[in-house]
Structure 1
Amino acid sequence: MSDLVRVRFAPSPTGPLHMGGVRTALFNYLFAKKYDGTFILRIEDTDQTRYVANAEQYIIDALKWCNITIDEGPNIHEKYGPYRQSERKEIYKKYVDELVAKGCAYYAFDSSDDLDKHRKDHEEKGKTFIYNWHNRNKLQNSLALAEDVVSAKIKNGEKYVIRFKSPENETIQLVDEIRGTITIDTNTLDDKVLFKSDGMPTYHLANIVDDHLMQISHVIRGEEWLPSLPLHILLYKAFGWNPPKFAHLPLILKPVGKGKLSKRDGDKLGFPVFPLAYTNPKSGEVSSGYKEEGYFPEAFVNMLALLGWNPGTEQEIFSMEQLIAAFELGRVSKSGAKFSPDKTKWFNQQYLQQKSATELANLYSVILENRGISREMSYVKKVVALVKERAVFVSDFWQLSDFFFETPKAYDPKAVKKQWKENTPSLMTEVGEVIQNIDDFTSENTENLIKEWITKKEIGFGKVMQPLRLSLVGALKGPHLFDIMEMIGKEETIHRIEVAIKELSQE
């Protein structure tokens, strides 16, 4: 592979970055780093009607959170800048004029009303209106009008667009790095608008010009752009430029039913579709994000990488470095990849288990501080070590370990009904007396002494152990009971038994 691999991620700043967009950025990034290439961020903001002010910063923040480093972009090593298309307006005008001069594009003066009439007329006849070779010489454009008429219209400020002149009766072969060879009959193509009446280029023109001028070697983008590939290849040909290699990624599909994953699916089924939370500046609507939901960026990236790409092995957990080493476009699937919320949680759980007790304790300490609880880090680390196997998110730690930090304020009603019998208070009182006489209050020693006492009393273990856990925890949950007792200490253990006897004897 050439050492001149240059790829770009070119989103439109029209709102938050969908996870499908993040995956496109990720695959571009992996490919670039695999071959010591350059990853470029380009903001395609030619559609000013859909522009959203905070969207560009959101895109940059999202990539940063995913540890996708931008080599070139807005205000970053602008080797071929500017990297916002709205700041490259004059460049596009020059190139579209070149296409007109070559006879590869033309001025079209048709109004929206005129085109609507043509569409309705075709619909009434059971046909589809396509603006191309079969009717362009009959419409209001520079191919059908006299040169002086065209000049007069332009001079008088009459609105126009510039359309590409699609070739007639040609067959072109396109090569996609993922999908192979595609054959297209040019008679089926319409004459796409390249330059709009507001003086801005359409995606098609700006995209081609920028990719050429920025020396993009590979265009890796979503499947939805595959229908545009014939036009893009024809534009390269019209300019006399060598096209980059193209690869169109499969869609990310909704977890239930058919079709592309959307925000609506996330809202309906309760999972985010954006990497970061997003507040719509116009409506104030807040959309949830993976970061705020408690996902680790490494888990999110790992999950995305395996949506549509197969490493060819059974391995599922990959660091960014491992993804870069393993990634190949040839192993990207042609068919859509179904998103699984449960699998995404599984990835997060795997990464949580891999993290050190120190890192997790630091994260948990923030949650504790927000609750007004302050404990030594050594204590928090011990708690984390005892409960982390049951956690998916760091936010789960409180529900799994609240009893390590405070006396239960309530008791599970079902557990009380099942485990707290008429003679339980007297048994718990005796257990409290046994505990009071234990000097070495380590988990192992306490367990041995209490089990000896139960055996000596010839009581069923469940009659003591379950109510004891209920007294200390408030429910029949938690790690090894005697580990809990050692952690909270003898005085607190006795105190909780006394509170439980008082509270539960009143019910």
Structure 2
Amino acid sequence: MDYNRLAELLFPDVTETPEEVEARYPERDLPEGAKVTRMGPSPTGFMHLGNLYGALVDERLAHQSGGVFFLRIEDTDKKREVEGGVQLILETFRNFGLPFDEGVTENGDKGKYGPYRQSQRAAIYHVFAKQLVQRGYAYPCFCTEEELAEMHAQQEANKENFGYYGKYAKYRDCELEEIERRIAAGESYVVRFRSPGSIENKVRHTDLVKGKLELTENDQDIVLLKSDGIPTYHFAHVVDDHLMHTTHVVRGEEWLATLPVHLQLFDVLGWKRPKYVHTAQLMKMDGGSKRKLSKRKDPELALSYYYQQGIPVPSVMEYLMTLLNSNFEEWRRANQTAPLDDFPFSTKKMSVSGSLFDMDKLHDVSKNVISRMSAEDVYDSVAKWSADNDPEFHELFVRDPEMTKQFLSIGRGGKKPRKDLALWSETKAYMDFMFDELFQPDYSGMPERAKADAKAILTEYQDVYDAQDEMTVWFDKVKALAERHGFAPETKLYKKNPEQYKGPVGDISMVLRVAICGRTNAPDLYSVMQLMPTEKIKARLAAACEAL
């Protein structure tokens, strides 16, 4: 076979050499040990948790080592691409705060190693496909869909491995004259890789998560270029990762089955293999068993779900880190206020088996994250979320920003901050009693021991309340009120002689809390009352009396 003649027949318009292409992609000038990683999503219109999970690994590996993290759009499968898909990718990663150093942007490409869309790199792939043909590692295949289906059926009947290989590689050794005749006749063809492998051989490889692997060598003549000249993922990512000098490829463990193909391509092309990081799949409990998160069954797989539910981005990122590194929670306990970027991420601490996604655990993490945020940040986030998701509450929430921020400040900070909120969507129920439009009191929480005296307590308190009182004076009045109605003015007195009192001073505080807040659970009562006009407080006390 005259491979040079075949290469010219298949690629008559390719005049650039591999060496000339390589010259356009010089080695990166980076510090020793710096890692180059990439995120390579497809614009299918659906961004899922797995995308973010892997991207977080990419970002940490690159930026923790002083390296480069870039975004490449892998849009070679036009059948799956949707309009606006690229924009969705950019918006999603921007919303989650992932800082790309290079890659696709709204205004074109940023960086010297583009184009960063695979659909714009066809000429580059053809240069290296031509080289493989010249070296006898690629050839045209004219199989029709019907022939491939027939081959598959025969393999199934014979209980043989599926695929295009060995005796089933119909056009592997096709004569040049026949190839010329078929092309002249206008027959459609793909360009296949001529695999030098055998399933009798094993490939040894060390994955940075899975450890030492022994895999069956690839013997499949996979498609490199489809009939329209567009490359498959297998070929495109190998070429791109080499030219862009990607050092670490992070992807889900479902890609392990094709790893021998990719390693073989790197070897045949004479290129250094990148290190591979195959992340464990995200699982969830379904009854008593685990299963993979599903696009069809699990709304939480979609990244849009987290914004709709009002789960803060820092909470999602922090929770994902608990799944990614087994020592993260221990580090967080020792570094409660440190930014996430300070955590020393390591692939050695990543789970080998499936990571269990637990929404309840995410909510617990989120409560901690929100408790560490400033009232200003909480206000800004809830204002933005409510504007998009609950416009009626939004109007009330932003009506008096100063009051709202002061309310959100209650119990915030210190060693034991309040942890009332896990989602921005919970803010409405948390502070609805601050707005007359939302106030729906439930007086059933009045302490049993104080019910008989509640009306008298509330009536008398209307006369003694003074908004100018400092906290100690305010509480002294509550204690005096308690004593006048037969309740212990100090909790310790009640504990010492419970038979002498109707109940502790806390019962009186609870009567006031239920009357003013309409519930038993609310932030510090004195602080809440400081944010309410005196008329509102007295009106609520009177309304509670009326209801009782």
Q: Same fold (TM over 0.5)?
A: yes
What is the 5 A alignment of 1:461-480?
Answer: 464-480=508-524
TM-score of the two chains, using structure 1 as the length reference = 0.85
What is the 5 A alignment of 1:147-296?
Answer: 147-169=176-198, 170-186=201-217, 189-256=219-286, 257-267=289-299, 272-275=300-303, 277=304, 288=305, 290-296=306-312
What is the 5 A alignment of 1:323-338?
Answer: 323=343, 326-338=344-356
In the alignment, what sits opposite 2:23?
A: none
Q: Deviations over 1:312-339 (max 9, x none)?
A: 771236624213xx12222222212111
In the alignment, what sits opposite 1:448?
A: 476
1:360 and 2:378 equivalent? yes
Change (3 A) 1:36 1:472: same
Residue 24 of structure 1, CA deviation: 1.1
Secondary structure in 1 matching 2:311: coil
In the alignment, what sits opposite 1:298?
A: 314
1:130 and 2:130 equivalent? no
In the alignment, what sits opposite 2:36?
A: 6
Equivalenced residue count is 478
Q: For residues 474 and 90 of structure 2, what CA distance do their matches in structure 1 show? A: 55
Q: For residues 395 and 321 of structure 2, what CA distance do their matches in structure 1 show? A: 34
| Residue type of the alignment partner of 1:451 | K
Residue 207 of structure 1, CA deviation: 0.8
Q: What's the % identity of the aligned pairs?
A: 28
1:384 and 2:408 equivalent? yes
In the alignment, what sits opposite 2:139?
A: 106
**Cα pair 1:194 1:205 within 8 Å, conserved:** yes
Secondary structure in 1 matching 2:139: strand
Gaps of at least 5 residues in structure 1 are: 278-287
Q: For residues 135 and 373 of structure 1, what CA distance do their matches in structure 2 show? A: 69
TM-score of the two chains, using structure 2 as the length reference = 0.79
1:488 and 2:532 equivalent? yes
**Cα pair 2:129 2:224 within 8 Å, conserved:** yes
Q: For residues 322 and 124 of structure 1, what CA distance do their matches in structure 2 show? A: 57
Q: Deviations over 1:376-431 (max 9, x none)?
A: 51x33331122661222344333222223438743327447969967754553333
Tell me the C-alpha RMSD between the 2 structures.
Answer: 2.8
| Residue type of the alignment partner of 1:115 | L
1:118 to 151, 162, 182: 151
1:371 and 2:371 equivalent? no
Q: For residues 224 and 163 of structure 2, what CA distance do their matches in structure 1 show? A: 16
Residue 209 of structure 1, CA deviation: 0.9
Secondary structure in 2 matching 1:153: helix
**Cα pair 1:387 1:400 within 8 Å, conserved:** no
After TM superposition, the structure 1 stretch with the greater mean CA deviation from structure 2, 410-419 or 79-88, is 410-419
**Cα pair 1:142 1:150 within 8 Å, conserved:** no
Change (3 A) 1:146 1:345: same
Secondary structure in 2 matching 1:94: helix
Q: Deviations over 1:174-204 (max 9, x none)?
A: 2322223333343x63221111122211001
Residue 142 of structure 1, CA deviation: 4.4
Q: For residues 456 and 413 of structure 1, what CA distance do their matches in structure 2 show? A: 23
| Residue type of the alignment partner of 2:156 | E
Secondary structure in 2 matching 1:315: helix
Secondary structure in 1 matching 2:215: strand
Change (3 A) 1:475 1:167: same
Secondary structure in 2 matching 1:45: coil
Q: Deviations over 1:281-308 (max 9, x none)?
A: xxxxxxx2x2342233222222222323
**Cα pair 1:236 1:243 within 8 Å, conserved:** yes
**Cα pair 2:248 2:274 within 8 Å, conserved:** yes
| Residue type of the alignment partner of 1:157 | G
Q: For residues 315 and 440 of structure 2, what CA distance do their matches in structure 1 show? A: 35
Change (3 A) 1:37 1:426: closer
Q: For residues 453 and 349 of structure 2, what CA distance do their matches in structure 1 show? A: 66
